[in-house]
Structures are given as C-alpha cells and as structure tokens.
Amino acid sequence: KPVTHLEYEGYVPMAEQEMRRICEQIRTKWAVEYVAMQHRLGSCPIGEASVLIACSSPHRKEALEACHFAIDALKATVPIWKKEFYGDGRGGDGGTYEGHVDGGQKGHGAEAARGLGVWKQNK
C-alpha cells in the first residue's frame, strides 16, 4: 500500500533531555564545535524532510562520524513516534525521532544556538 503522508508526535520534555545526552556523548567522542538536531512534529508529506542533523568540525571525518552516531542514537532513544497514513485512509504505527540544538563548546555562539529544535508545520 502506498504511504500518503506521515505524522510525528513526541514527549518533548523527555526528548529534550535525551537530545542533550546525545550531544554530550558526541562531544566526548569527537572534536566537534557545533551539533544541531531537529525533527519535525505533526504532518509530513512524503518526500519532505522530517529530520536534520548537522555537526561542524575542523575535520570532515569526525563531523560525518558524529552525524552518523547522532541519527542512530536519535532513532533508538528519543521519544518521538511516527504514524504512516495510506491511500485507504488507515494509519499504522512506526519508529522514533525528535530535535534539539546544542551550542558550541568554549562559548562559541552558545546563546544563539541553544534550545529545542522542534519543527511544527502550521497548515
């Protein structure tokens, strides 16, 4: 059956806590300056982005490894649930996700970059 759209919902307080934990884990494993994670909540048409993860580092290998870890950890531990809707109007249960932005180390832009990155569509 073809999926017509997705809907995401989550438990935001717990998601924020888990996202911060993931950011801390990244900082202990890789020399990254900034980590950004964002996940869409609400309706998401097929083909549109539902998750964004970015890491900045002086070395691209570390940034890419950190991004890979972040998406896997996000999907495994953050309390966001996906529901798929099919052409027949019925929905089914799916996986897990969500978003948080963590400011850079040593105070680099921390005030501007901190906070939950939940992306809500207002349609």
**95 SS3 class:** strand
Helix (H) or strand (E) holding 19: helix 12-29
**pTM of the full structure:** 0.71
Contacts of 56 (CB under 8 A, 6+ apart): 32, 33, 34, 63, 104
The pLDDT of residue 88 is 67
Asked if 101 and 114 count as a contact pair (C-beta separation under 8 A), the reply is yes
Q: Half-sphere exposure of residue 79, counting CA atoms within 13 Å on the CB side?
A: 9
- Give the other-Cβ count within 10 Å of 122's Cβ: 4
| pLDDT value for 61 | 96
pLDDT tens per residue across all 123 residues of the chain: 788 888 888 888 888 889 889 988 999 999 998 898 888 888 888 888 888 899 999 999 999 999 999 999 999 999 988 898 887 655 554 433 333 444 333 333 332 233 334 444 333
